[in-house]
Structure 1
């Protein structure tokens, strides 16, 4: 699946939709462009985690983790639930997972896997 070819005969309504989608995509990419937020999302791919679990996995202070989770929640990438005093986070939908799979394939997979993916 490739990128669509843009026709100069795009309606005003279609152009408005494209602008809205570009804004949404830009905000999404900005949200995942921070190393700490990206790592949080990577950990959440395997399932729901508490803030304390994320602190331990990231070896980060609670304030820093909470700040990054707040941004991810604001952008709609994670959702939270409270159980007693513990707050749990999970991915909000399929978008972060799909993007992380691509990032993993491009930057984390073995070199042979990356070569195979680039020739597909």
Structure 2
């Protein structure tokens, strides 16, 4: 069909094609987000990321803070490193870990804001007013 009625059909096809590209991109991003959320789903890994959001720490520092054995902390750090959430650098005989990307820090800070805020002070009614 030609003429003015053909234009909406062409536009519709372009919109559908554009939507498919966006959905493919969305699925790719969703896969990445899902992997991140899997890593965050373990309490120890989440706490490690929270501690690293405050600054670099060695395995021994993390083990002491968490009151966990160093091999257990190292195992969690290995998973976080494999997921590209933390990075390691050697400083003398110690390996120090830090968050690998600013996006990780942003997510940890958002979680901290949602779950770790101090409880609001109770409202006290002043009967003298």
Structure 2: tracts of 5 or more residues without a match: 1-14, 122-129
Say which SS state the counterpart of residue 60 (structure 1) adopts. Answer: coil
Residue 10 (structure 1) shift: 4.1
User: Which runs of structure 1 show a deviation greater than 6 angstroms over 4 or more consecutive aligned residues?
Assistant: none
The one of 56, 60, 65 aligned to 1:52 = 60
Structure 1: tracts of 5 or more residues without a match: 1-6, 114-120
Pairwise CA RMSD of aligned residues? 2.0
Alignment size in residue pairs:
107
Stretch of structure 1 that moved more, 83-92 or 47-56: 83-92
Residue 9 (structure 1) shift: 6.2
CA deviation digits over 1:52-82, x for unaligned, max 9? 1111111111111011001111111100011
Match of 1:3 in 2: none
Say which SS state the counterpart of residue 104 (structure 1) adopts. Answer: helix
Structure exhibiting the larger radius of gyration computed from Cα positions: 2
